[in-house]
Amino acid sequence: MKQWGDEIILATAVFWADRVEWDEDGRVCHIRDGIGPDEYKQRLTDNTYTNYMARNNLRLAVQIAERLEKEDPEYLEELNNRWEICEMLPKIRRAAEGIYLPPVGKDGILPQFAGYGKLQEMDLSYYKSFGKNAAAEMRKEHRSEDIPCKNRQPPPCCCSCSRNSRKKPVGHSAGRYGRKTTSFMKNTRSMKHPTALPPIP
């Protein structure tokens, strides 16, 4: 913990102590304009996951600062020179106790963020019909591609296997693949097809 952990926790606690916004009465602080794990919900106030994690970070930072003050004051002074830990410690304590935590709902589940229960339920009928129509269009398009066409040429194989050796190269100079495909297939026919992979050492 001394090498990296203590400093990371203390430095992030300094960030949260500066990041929170206090009510006018100064009793409760909030984390506004944030994004929680559900990134589709943006610019939130008091995301439950974020606020709980921030409170744990702040509380742990207070414990670490108190421990270092007793056991390793020199290291605490070193961290203080970088992050102003001693000056921010009162703010860290205050934020740890005053940060708002959304309460458990009547169903026994924590809301995603403050005010989540006031959201209107989405009407998914449009999206369900859209999904069915999109799937039907994709199936229709897929069936149209399966219609045989005498002018359509198969794509070239990546090697000179027997499948390509029995077929004539694409002869259309301005076709789907053009001259490059013709020369590619001619060149690959002159290459030897490996019959077996080399043994693994």
Task: List the catalytic residues.
Answer: 39
From first CA to last CA, the distance across the chain in angstroms is 44
Q: What angle do CA 49, 52, 55 make, to 5 degrees?
A: 145
Backbone angles phi, psi at 109, to 5 degrees: -115, 140
Rounded distance between C-alpha atoms, residue 114 and residue 98, angstroms: 16
108-139 b/e with 16+ CB inside 10 Å = b? eeebbbbebeeeeeeeeeeeeeeeeeeeeeee
Dihedral angle, C-alpha 141, 146, 151, 155, nearest 10 °:
100
